[in-house]
Amino acid sequence: MSSENQTTRLRILTATLDLLQGGSKSVRMSDIARTAGISRQALYLHFSTRAELLIAAARHLDEVNEVDARLEPSRTAETGRARLKSWVESWGNYIPEIWGLGEALAAMQHTDADAAEALADRMRAVRDGCAAAVAALHRDGDLTPDLSATEATDLLWTMLSVGSWRQLRFDCGWSQADYVARMTLAAEKALIRAP
């Protein structure tokens, strides 16, 4: 940790995230090196593989954004309904910050097993958040009777996928606020027992 040269490593990571944030299609190792102000080979001194770099960037992003703190309100919500609402909002508002990286990781998951694993990890974490919200609903007796807890989790997880967000946000032109509002409503309709 402290034995590593943080400043160069950090410059690399932030360069990577900057390039990816823009949703730039294909971010090459040389692009990253250039924007970090070092040679392409110096990059390989720090990260021996593109996948490794992307994974490190993902971890770094998690730290910087204090993921746990952002999810706090959802975790401490009293009712299941409140928890669902809060979860959709927290996660939905986190997507814009990670989607570039997510798509880059997704694009290389078929050529690199580590990248696939890192992506799967993160998707699993999101799924856990969905499962917790569903469990809270279930506990309150508010879960719709036509879905098991697992099925409800599957459905919510899929509704909240990065791909769906991207499509609504960019292909359909929804604003971020629209996305959160409409998706919250859609999730409630799909999961909460009819009155």
Which residues contribute to the site for DNA (CB under 7 A)? 4-5, 8, 26, 28-30, 37-42, 44-46, 48-51, 112
Contact between 67 and a copy of itself per CB under 8 A: no
Q: Which of 170, 162, 165, 167 is nearest to 183 (CA)?
A: 165
**Tokens found for residue 24:** 């730039």
**Interface of this chain with a copy of itself, residues 25 to 44, rule: CB under 8 A:** 25-26
Contact between 121 and a copy of itself by CB under 8 A: the answer reads no
Among 45-53, 69-77, 88-96, 159-167, the segment contacting a copy of itself (CB under 8 A) = 159-167
Assess contact for 158 and 108: CB atoms under 8 A.
Answer: no
Q: Smallest distance from the beta carbon of 166 to DNA, in angstroms?
A: 22
If binding is defined by CB under 8 A, does position 131 make contact with a copy of itself?
A: no
**Is residue 116 within 8 Å of residue 107, measured between CB atoms?**
no
| Residues 90 and 73: beta-carbon distance below 8 Å | yes
Q: How far is the CB of 42 from DNA (least distance, A)?
A: 3
Which amino acid does the sequence have at 190?
A: A
Picked from a copy of itself, DNA, none, the partner binding residue 48 (CB below 5 to 8 A depending on kind) is DNA
Q: Which is nearer to a copy of itself, 38 or 135 (CB)?
A: 135
- What residues contact residue 174 under an 8 Å CB cut-off, 6+ apart? 168, 182
Contact 150, 158 (CB under 8 A): no
Span 160-179, contacts to a copy of itself by CB under 8 A: 161, 163-164, 167-168, 171-172, 174
Q: Which residue has the tokens 């954004």?
A: 65
- At how many degrees (to 10) do helices 80-107 and 176-191 cross? 120
End-to-end CA distance of the chain: 55
Which of 66, 113, 185, 193 contacts a copy of itself by CB under 8 A? Answer: 185
- The H-or-E segment that residue 23 falls in is none
> In angstroms, what is the minimal distance from the CB of 56 to a copy of itself?
23
Which residues of the shown chain bind a copy of itself in the complex (CB under 8 A)?
25-26, 107, 110-111, 123, 146-147, 151, 154-155, 157-159, 161, 163-164, 167-168, 171-172, 174, 182, 185-186, 189-190, 194
